[in-house]
Structure 1
């Protein structure tokens, strides 16, 4: 007879806050060719007044080197529309069913998923509107140092019983809106492990947040500022980027991660839409 502490407890959770919705905005991606796991996140772009295109955003290196990719969706109850925790729907797609950023140095890729969600009804997910990336410095104040939240599957880990992802926090190590080294990236100070590649990075504040150089606002702020791509290791006198390797060793000395910024994400989405004969329409209120 199992002890009480060993009996799994099935949770019920009302998905009634932005934070809770974010738990269902990511997807576990398995690369069958390399035997590795990465993260992707659901997004949608408006291409008309009512027409939206659903997508999965991840890194190129999460998808490369295989002829089959497995998308691990969480199942949905057809009766209630709620998630069926612990039940995964693995969807196999072709290894070339994605479109990458045109710059080979920008490690972002997009998977169109309209056909999947239109033919399989019991998939539970929450998509992130591109509007969360469509803002100016005047609309959203971003300081030189910000607390960041990222969600994914570090080293392939997730809640093994409910199949929900892992949420982590850190800080921006370089200014988010200042391209580090002249590239479309910034650095974060946080524990970035293999499997975290493709994790969305948010500014997520609930209660109060700084809305200007001397202003503090009461309320909530949630914007998507980037996507994790790699970690940095100090192996010589200069940092070496551990790039294009889904499972890289964490640099204990530095604890730094490379994040491609929101502009690079939007460029990749626009490239994908253009190949589909569509154009993104801004829906910022």
Structure 2
């Protein structure tokens, strides 16, 4: 059976939130990756932008699980997610040079099954293999302003085109620009390519992979430019390795800064509807 990455990632993408006690909440997006733990057992890991967790001051966040009902409907069922220990120290793992976080979780069985295999994360040579470049279309999932696609809590799927050049290698260009509207709540969502209509010349297969995760939006003089900043999947892979081994090697990418870059998630509080 051919995997429809768009549908599979919709099922694997969840809303992350933490009520602030004043009628507002901070909101971000995360997605589930399946991998093998050092003991050989399967493991589910939640991936998001590091600042999503950093902006949540309390020990428990909420993760937006969805339940499939017998009549074909879905129910939204957010559950507690412990992100800090009793002393307030983070329980998640962050990449030392990029805005990426990961935390191993115990997910309901249906969500553990929905997690995307880690092999779908773009590797060092993926962009060159599929000749990904400026103008190529990518898809993005998230919860802009905390808004879901429906009452069941599914993420909103949108698309944009790669808006920068060059986009690889990730060690030199750790982020790239995507031309689409970004809002608080989008941060941490997966950005992916699923080219089912054609093969790229010499690629030897379909371009179907997670390119990275959305981490920031671009503003200039307090004006939103409708451009998102995507961190390469290479740094997601490295963060997953750090979950297993804090001494795992990582790429200390250049600390480039995009003028007007602003976190696109829990940086702002989102009022409850």
TM-score relative to the length of structure 2: 0.74
In structure 1, which of residues 88, 92, 107 is the aligned counterpart of residue 77 of structure 2?
88
Larger Rg: 1
1:71 and 2:63 correspond:
yes
1:129 and 2:100 correspond:
no
CA distance in 1, matches of 2:223, 2:192: 21
Once the two structures are TM-superposed, the CA of residue 25 in structure 1 deviates from its matched residue by 1.4
- C-alpha change, 1:47 and 1:141, in structure 2 (3 Å) is farther
CA distance in 1, matches of 2:102, 2:109: 22
SS of residue matched to 2:196: strand
Contact kept? 1:39, 1:199, Cα under 8 Å: yes
Structure 1 equivalent of residue 15 of structure 2: 28
Once the two structures are TM-superposed, the CA of residue 234 in structure 1 deviates from its matched residue by 1.2
CA distance in 2, matches of 1:84, 1:145: 38
Structure 2 equivalent of residue 12 of structure 1: none
Q: After the TM superposition, which of the residue ranges 223-232 and 254-263 deviates more from structure 2?
A: 254-263
Structure 2 equivalent of residue 241 of structure 1: none
Once the two structures are TM-superposed, the CA of residue 127 in structure 1 deviates from its matched residue by 1.1
In structure 2, which of residues 204, 210, 231 is the aligned counterpart of residue 260 of structure 1?
231
Structure 2 equivalent of residue 242 of structure 1: none
1:274 and 2:245 correspond:
yes
Structure 2 equivalent of residue 240 of structure 1: none
Q: How many residues align?
A: 235
Structure 2 equivalent of residue 97 of structure 1: 91
Q: Cα deviations across residues 70-123 of structure 1 (Å, max 9, x unaligned)? A: 11111245xx7x9851231422323322111122xx11100111xx23xx5565
CA distance in 2, matches of 1:49, 1:273: 10
Q: After the TM superposition, which of the residue ranges 135-144 and 57-66 deviates more from structure 2?
A: 135-144
Once the two structures are TM-superposed, the CA of residue 272 in structure 1 deviates from its matched residue by 1.2
Moved over 4 A (4+): 47-50, 120-125
- C-alpha change, 1:69 and 1:206, in structure 2 (3 Å) is same
Contact kept? 2:12, 2:111, Cα under 8 Å: no
Contact kept? 2:141, 2:158, Cα under 8 Å: yes
Once the two structures are TM-superposed, the CA of residue 178 in structure 1 deviates from its matched residue by 4.4
Higher relative contact order (CA 8 A, sep 6+): 2
**Structure 2 unaligned blocks of 5 or more:** 85-89, 250-273
CA distance in 1, matches of 2:186, 2:81: 21
Q: Cα deviations across residues 233-267 of structure 1 (Å, max 9, x unaligned)? A: 011xxxxxxxxxxxxx871xx22111110111111
CA distance in 2, matches of 1:164, 1:222: 21
CA distance in 2, matches of 1:131, 1:16: 13
TM-score relative to the length of structure 1: 0.71
- C-alpha change, 1:123 and 1:264, in structure 2 (3 Å) is closer
